[in-house]
A = this chain, B = another copy of it.
Amino acid sequence: MTSVHIREVGPRDGFQNEPETIATADKIRLINALGRAGFTRIEVASFVRPDVIPQLSDGVEVLRGIEVPDSVDRMVLVPNSKGLDNALAVRELFAEVALFVSASQTHNRRNINRTVEETMADVKVMGKRIVADDLRFCAVIATSFGCPYEGRVPMDRVLGLAEEFAEAGATEIGFGDTTGMCNPAYASKFFTAAIERLRGAEVTAHFHNTRGQGLANAYAALQAGCTSFESSFGELGGCPVPAGSTGNIATEDLVGMFHEMGVDTGLDLDAVIDAARMAQTVLGRKLTSHSIVAGPVRWYPSPSEENQ
């Protein structure tokens, strides 16, 4: 039976997109609920400037407050050397550090006001520190499947950046569909090439459901051999481009699809849905995941034996 890893990214990627900052105690409650669902990887916090992303300014408190099993690898996202300094000051609170770049120049400039080359030069320096500190170094390449300003980013360029990350010490490379521009045919081609070219590194798919194709892309990536995914409970997260659109694929929809297909995730789907419903209550609005309404596939034994 195929088995996959799913990293839950809602507590970082989802919470940071909420218009109202979620109370620290609520964040902790929600992450604890995710821990009960069996996740072994959760992106918990980021070390970004609190004036830029106030929604995540309580990252250290959250990391200190959560009570999740030791089997959960906690990931933090770090944007630059200053963020890494702050993260390493509390190094005992997490196991994985994610560094990121956008594959397209325009998106990278608009996101972090630097060229791709400047970012990658920093990555090399930061990567050494992460590895030296015995932490797992994970890379994230945004706009891997297309940029709203530049269109499709050449696959060779994206995979070249992935190789640079691997050389800098990253053992996992995540490819992000930042504004939902991937399609299943391209996902199939891309992950076949990525897995071939990045032997030795873990290749992770991070799809968005911007136009409803997120699970189709995940299925295509799985077929191409990808066994590592990122998703967000409740379909939390969004993206400013296009305005108002949803972001990440919903963890509970992804887990449901995998389980129905006989793919092992190690997760308790009912508990994932419980956590997503709890998020819905905390946020006070209807979330866009489908399984949060429908629940897992279930049926009721019937007296009819004619179909047996």
The docked-state distance in angstroms from the alpha carbon of A105 to that of B304 is 7
The docked-state distance in angstroms from the alpha carbon of A260 to that of B116 is 27
Tell yes or no: A183 within 8 A of B by CB. yes
Q: State whether A245 touches B294 (Cβ < 8 A).
A: yes
Q: Which stretch of A53-61, A167-175, A216-224 is in the interface?
A: A216-224
Q: State whether B211 touches A299 (Cβ < 8 A).
A: no
Q: State whether A307 touches B150 (Cβ < 8 A).
A: yes
Contact of A288 (CB < 8 Å), options: B218, B220, B253, B288: B288
Q: Mark A268-308, 1 if CB is under 8 A from B, else 0.
A: 00000000000000000000111101111111101010110
Q: State whether B299 touches A261 (Cβ < 8 A).
A: no
The docked-state distance in angstroms from the alpha carbon of A293 to that of B245 is 6
For A246, the chain B residues whose CB sits under 8 A away are: 290, 293-294
Contact of A181 (CB < 8 Å), options: B148, B154, B289, B297: B297
A267 to chain B, nearest CB (A): 15
Q: State whether A299 touches B215 (Cβ < 8 A).
A: no
Q: Mark A46-64, 1 if CB is under 8 A from B, else 0.
A: 0000000000000000000
The docked-state distance in angstroms from the alpha carbon of A294 to that of B179 is 9
**Closest residue on chain B to residue A181 by CB atoms:** B297
Q: State whether A293 touches B185 (Cβ < 8 A).
A: no
Q: Mark A142-180, 1 if CB is under 8 A from B, else 0.
A: 000011111101100100000000000000000000001
Contact of A213 (CB < 8 Å), options: B245, B257, B304: B257
A–B Cβ pairs within 8 angstroms, 9 of them: A105-B302, A147-B299, A149-B300, A153-B307, A154-B307, A184-B219, A213-B256, A242-B298, A246-B293
- How many residues on the A side are at the interface (Cβ–Cβ under 8 A)? 59
The docked-state distance in angstroms from the alpha carbon of A150 to that of B299 is 6
Near B by CB (< 8 A), chain A positions 37-93 give: none
For A200, the chain B residues whose CB sits under 8 A away are: none
Q: Mark A236-263, 1 if CB is under 8 A from B, else 0.
A: 0000001011100110010011001110
Q: A218-B216, A246-B290, A290-B245 are in contact. Are A149 and B295 (CB under 8 A)?
A: no
The docked-state distance in angstroms from the alpha carbon of A49 to that of B158 is 58
Q: Mark A100-133, 1 if CB is under 8 A from B, else 0.
A: 0001111000000000100000000000000000
Tell yes or no: A227 within 8 A of B by CB. no
A166 to chain B, nearest CB (A): 21
For A213, the chain B residues whose CB sits under 8 A away are: 215, 253, 256-257, 260
